[in-house]
Amino acid sequence: MTAALQIDDLTVHYATREGALQALRDVSITVPEGKIVGVVGESGCGKSTLINALLQLLPENATLPAGRITLEGEDVTHASTRRLRQMRGQEMSVIFQDPMTSLNPVLSIGRQMRDIQYRQPGNRTEKDRRSANMLGRVGIPDPVGKLSAYPHELSGGMRQRVAIAMAALMRPRVLIADEPTTALDATLEVQIIELLKEIQREIGCAILFISHHLGVIAELCDRVVVMYAGVAVEEGPVEDVFLRPGHPYTIKLIECDPGRLKVRVADLPSIPGSLPDLTDPPAGCIFQDRCERATEICATPPPRAPQRPGHWAACHHSGPEGS
């Protein structure tokens, strides 16, 4: 069975004055058909580079020394510009953190929703009906009336709903969600999470959900990939990774979330140190400088140590207590 989205050994470098900045190193992610895969990581982990690479919209100074991205078995990394334009939106839709970046401020919602259906059959009335239906589906009150509204007339939560409606209208195979709830308030965040679950059930697409918020990932995803400084350090089913994390970074990251602590503590956990210099990353494990378990062996590339079925951690000393 082919995966909806398959990323193999993706490596992305940015040319800078200080040398090649290794934004992504050998990242492999599989998004199976109809599943929600979360990518979690803090700033500097390479989340935005990953999205740009998926859409083949990397800046000019980026190079792709290695790796392959396939969408439903089709190679994206070597696709023609024309084919890529077809794929974006049609087969692979994106929901951004700020919906204003994907909505055109000078066109009405209805016009924009009609425009993206240009390949679909039907006349203007049918297309507008489909748009209004979808707006209703994502919980927008008065969907027909909202077709004539402009993006700035809607609140942030409503705009994110419109963006989801537009993405869902194309019935893509893969939906890429880039921190879609980060800019929203807590009560809206849960609304959007519920909505994404419904849409996924309805159109059966796979979702690659990128977020720094552990709680949102735990709430929504089937599988999760933990990233640190451009490297995928752990991957597995979401329950396994959150309840039995194998990589010291994942363990620390989950410990740091104060939402986990149900009683007041005087000393909140944190990860001392800072990200390695990605123009000159350490040999071997990327996390060794900040890791309590690090030994000499960590200067050699860590193996993908299996934890449980379908769950690995890239670490020499993985597991609850290390080995």
Partner 1 sequence: MTPLLSLRDVVVEFPAVGGLKALLTPPEKRRVRALDGVSLEVTAGETLAIVGESGSGKTTLARAINGLVPLAGGQVTFDGTPLHESPDWHAIRRRVAMMFQDPVGSLSPRKTVRDLVLEPFAIHGLPLKDRQAKAVQLLEDAGLGPDFLNRYPHQLSGGQARRVGVARALALTPTLVLADEPTAGLDVSVQGEILNLMNRIKADHGLTTLIITHNLNILRHIADRIAVMYLGRIVEVGPVERLLTAPAHPYTRALMAANPEPDPTARRERIVLKGETPALNARPPGCEFHPRCPVARPDCATRIPRLEPATTGGQVACHYPLTQEPAPA
| One-letter amino acid for residue 304 of the chain | R
Minimal distance, residue 195 CB to partner 1, in Å: 10
Q: How far is CA 28 from CA 47, 49, 74, 214, 276, in A?
A: 13, 14, 16, 20, 21
Integer Cα distance of 140 and 39 in angstroms: 28
276 in Cβ contact with 292 (< 8 Å):
no
Binding span for partner 1 by CB under 8 A among 7-15, 72-80, 143-151, 253-261: 253-261
Nearer to partner 1, 159 or 317 (CB): 159
Of the candidate spans 52-60, 92-100, 124-132, 184-192, the one that interacts with partner 1 by CB under 8 A turns out to be: 184-192
**What is the footprint of partner 1 within residues 103-162 (CB under 8 A)?**
155, 157-158
The answer to whether 233 and 245 are in contact (CB under 8 A) is no
Q: Which of 18, 115, 194, 292 binds partner 1 (CB under 8 A)?
A: 194
Q: Smallest gap, in angstroms, from Cβ of residue 264 to partner 1? A: 5
Of 167, 221, 205, residue with least CA distance to 71: 205
From the list 61-69, 84-92, 168-176, 254-262, the region that binds partner 1 by CB under 8 A is 254-262
The nearest distance, CB 169 to partner 1, in angstroms, is: 22
Which listed range, 103-111, 119-127, 162-170, 257-265, lies at the site for partner 1 (CB under 8 A)?
257-265
Q: What minimum distance in Å lies between the beta carbon of 30 and partner 1?
A: 19
Amino acid at 236: G
Q: Whose Cβ is closer to partner 1: residue 170's or residue 254's?
A: 254
- Of 176, 208, 227, 253, which one interacts with partner 1 (CB under 8 A)? 253
CB nearer to partner 1: give 7 or 40. Answer: 40
Q: How far apart are CA 35 and CA 291, in angstroms?
A: 32
> What distance in Å separates the CA atoms of residue 183 and residue 181, rounded to the nearest whole number?
6
Q: How far is CA 237 from the centre of its chain?
A: 16
Contact 163, 171 (CB under 8 A): no
CB of 286 to partner 1, least distance (A): 14
Interaction between residue 8 and partner 1 (CB under 8 A) = no
Q: Is 316 left (phi over 0), alpha (psi -120 to 50) or beta?
A: alpha
- Tell me the CB-side half-sphere exposure of residue 266, using CA atoms within 13 A: 0
> Is residue 265 near partner 1 by the rule CB under 8 A?
yes
The residue ranges that bind partner 1 (CB under 8 A) are 42-43, 155, 157-158, 185-191, 193-194, 212-219, 238-239, 242-243, 252-254, 256-272, 274
